[in-house]
Amino acid sequence: MPYIRLETTESVAPEQRASLCARLSRLVAQGTGKPEAYVMVVVEDGLTMLHAGAPGPAAFAEVRSIGGLSSQANRALAQGLCGLLAEALGVPGERIYLNFAEVEAGCWGHDGTTFG
């Protein structure tokens, strides 16, 4: 908790996958102020997506967290995520959608219990 799920049209080479996951993990930990030890990253690549009625490079990233998300934090995360995805995958910012969701502690489970 936090959790980031990236879905993208772009294929991530096996040698790039670990680096991309690590960069996403650090960025989300820093952006939410949470320990990286609690961050989970999922990357789904090579997907078929249509954005603005047209095929091409695109991405959707969902960030969920118990606390740590706010208008200010989300704007900073949006800037960082879009910059990272443009640099690492070649997806232009105008073809990236992001979703930020606060989750109640009692609605997030881990290791046989919940956080709240």
**What pairs with residue 114 in β-bridges?**
109
2 an active-site residue?
yes
Distance of CA 60 to the CA centre of its chain: 8
Question: Which residue among 2, 35, 57, 92 is the active-site one?
Answer: 2
CA within 13 Å, CB half, 62: 11
Beta carbons of 99 and 64 less than 8 angstroms apart: no
d(CA 21, CA 24): 5
Find tokens 């989970």 and name the residue.
40
Catalytically active residues are 2
